[in-house]
Chains A and B, each alone.
Chain A
Amino acid sequence: AQSVAQPEDQVNVAEGNPLTVKCTYSVSGNPYLFWYVQYPNRGLQFLLKYITGDNLVKGSYGFEAEFNKSQTSFHLKKPSALVSDSALYFCAVDSGGYQKVTFGTGTKLQVIP
């Protein structure tokens, strides 16, 4: 069975500081990893994904994520946080099994002006 864990319910960061939102996964095969963002009263929006190749993946709005196979992690990062980045962030994994894509519980990011 595949699973994904987002250990932090909420992350607070000051505007202009770097941010990290953590994600770890568990799969039996090769992982395909995704980050989505959900703004208030909106559906989820795709940010970035890792399929294969470079471990550092760059995505929308200046976000990037690093795939670390040994630590089974796919943390989301941004060098300088904006207030407008405040939202709910979901990590997801798909290994091609019967479960289809599995989402984490989400991490609320609060960027403080």
Chain B
Amino acid sequence: ETGVTQTPRHLVMGMTNKKSLKCEQHLGHNAMYWYKQSAKKPLELMFVYSLEERVENNSVPSRFSPECPNSSHLFLHLHTLQPEDSALYLCASSQETGVQETQYFGPGTRLLVL
């Protein structure tokens, strides 16, 4: 295991539901990330947090709302999603956000939007 856990591992939700994804890292890292992984596409970086402050938001729709209450926890709040939002959502952490940093990934949450 990489030291990054994600819950739930699978989630099915309707377009009108509200749900949250949770990520926790046990590595003492200062940076955390949310990625979206869709088939045959590159990983899409959604959000980056460094020391609990958002430092990157790659034009993600407002129906995705991140929250980082401390350096060990990261949430992704979901509401009024669309079927095309169905994907694997990966959380990652790294010591810092520098160019040389290795990222450590969680197992992901497989999301299906009906």
Contacts and interface: CB of A to CB of B under 8 A. Distances in A.
Genuine A/B complex: yes
Interface of A: 4, 9, 32, 34, 36, 41-46, 49, 51, 90, 94-96, 100-106
B99 A95 contact: yes
Contacts of A36: 105
Nearest to A30: B99
Contacts of A100: 45, 48, 56, 97
B103 A46 contact: yes
Contacts of B97: 100
B90 interface: yes
Interface string B48-72: 1000000010000000000000000
A25 B103 CA distance: 19
A41 B90 CA distance: 11
Given A34-B102, A49-B102, A43 B108 contact: yes
Lowest 3 CB-CB distances: which A-B pairs, in order?
A43-B105, A103-B43, A44-B105
Size category of the binding interface on chain B: 20 to 34
16 contacts: A4-B42, A32-B99, A43-B90, A43-B91, A43-B92, A43-B105, A44-B90, A44-B103, A46-B104, A96-B99, A100-B56, A100-B97, A102-B42, A103-B42, A105-B40, A105-B41
Majority-rule SS of B interface residues:
loop
B4 interface: yes
Contacts, number: 50
Interface of B: 2, 4, 6, 40-43, 45, 48, 56, 90-92, 97, 99-100, 102-108
A65 to B, nearest CB: 14
Given A103-B42, A105-B41, A43 B2 contact: yes
A76 to B, nearest CB: 16
Nearest to A104: B42
A39 B102 CA distance: 18
Given A32-B99, A41-B107, A43-B108, 10 more contacts: A4-B42, A9-B40, A42-B108, A43-B4, A43-B107, A46-B104, A90-B43, A96-B99, A100-B97, A101-B45
Nearest to B41: A105
